[in-house]
């Protein structure tokens, strides 16, 4: 078993939930109101994968290669990776202003879904920690599924069950952890797929030397899976 803590992190309405696998322990859950709080609580030798954009494009580099490559891996479900907002839009006071700033920088507005993520993206923009890397659960599940994207949406019972079956083989104890989330996160507003996503990243973090990088170029922003 790995001599470090493997931590998979996903955002939820109230903050961040983390699935943690440590040597000799059952998978456990933690909730943190901020990503800085989570980082402060994590062991120094932790491997942390987070399902959130880390490193934004800007007017001079309007697209992220990692997003383009992730969409290719997920075809025909590439829309599960939505475009990262440009840096110029991040401090906008409202959605209309954010769209205007994004259009000025890249020629395209941002989605409402992306706007709702701005507070969490801002949190990550202010943090530099070598333990933490950006990941994407759907890309991780595609790797678990021998290179084929899971067809059913993670919002459906069929999609959730399919992902849990993949997790059962990739992360021992993950099913029990999923079933026990309510006991360890009793006062937190989260969805079942938030837990499934966090478990997927925890599974990937358990084998850091086997992690793959999109793109391979170390000078570019990356998605790890």
* Separation between Cα atoms, residue 192 and residue 52, nearest integer Å: 17
Measured CA distances, 57 to 105, 124, 174, 225 (Å): 10, 14, 35, 20
* Separation between Cα atoms, residue 19 and residue 106, nearest integer Å: 36
* Separation between Cα atoms, residue 126 and residue 27, nearest integer Å: 29
Running DSSP on this structure, what letter comes out for residue 84? Answer: P
Structure tokens at 98: 């954010």
* Intervals of the chain under pLDDT 70: 1-2
| Residue 2, pLDDT score | 58
| Residue 91, pLDDT score | 94
Neighbours of 22 (CB within 10 A): 17
Per-domain boundaries in the chain: 6-55+128-224, 65-124
Q: Does residue 76 have a cis bond before it (omega within 30 degrees)? A: yes
Is the distance from CB of 222 to CB of 134 less than 8 angstroms? yes
Give pTM, 2 decimals.
0.94
Which residue spans within 44-190 are E strands per DSSP? Answer: 47-51, 132-134
The 3-state secondary structure of 130-164 reads: CCEEEECHHHHHHHHCCCCCCCCCCCCHHHHHHHH
Structure tokens at 110: 């941002």
How close are the terminal C-alpha atoms of the chain, in Å?
A: 19
Q: Is 12 in a helix, a strand, or coil? A: strand
Structure tokens at 38: 């989570």
Residue recorded with tokens 């699935």: 19
Structure tokens at 73: 């891996």
| Residue 89, pLDDT score | 96
Which residues are registered as beta bridge partners of 104? none
| Residue 1, pLDDT score | 46
Running DSSP on this structure, what letter comes out for residue 78? Answer: G
């Amino acid at each position: 078993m790995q001599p470090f803590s493997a931590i998979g992190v996903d955002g939820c309405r109230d903050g961040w939930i983390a699935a943690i696998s440590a040597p000799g322990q059952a998978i456990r859950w933690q909730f943190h109101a901020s990503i800085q709080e989570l980082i402060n609580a994590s062991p120094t030798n932790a491997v942390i994968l987070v399902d959130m954009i880390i490193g934004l494009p800007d007017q001079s580099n309007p697209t992220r290669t990692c997003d383009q490559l992730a969409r290719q891996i997920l075809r025909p479900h590439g829309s599960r990776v939505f475009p990262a907002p440009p840096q110029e839009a991040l401090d906008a006071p409202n959605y209309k202003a954010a769209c205007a700033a994004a259009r000025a920088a890249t020629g395209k507005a941002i989605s409402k879904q992306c706007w709702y993520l701005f507070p969490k993206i801002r949190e990550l923009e202010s943090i530099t920690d070598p333990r933490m890397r950006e990941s994407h659960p759907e890309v991780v599940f595609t790797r678990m599924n021998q290179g084929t994207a899971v067809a059913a949406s993670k919002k459906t019972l069929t999609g959730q069950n399919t992902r849990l079956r993949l997790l059962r083989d990739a992360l021992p104890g993950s099913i029990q952890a999923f079933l026990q989330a309510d006991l360890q996160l009793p006062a937190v507003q989260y969805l079942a797929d938030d837990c499934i996503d966090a478990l997927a990243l925890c599974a990937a973090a358990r084998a850091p030397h086997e992690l793959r990088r999109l793109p391979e170029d170390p000078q570019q922003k990356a998605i790890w899976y």
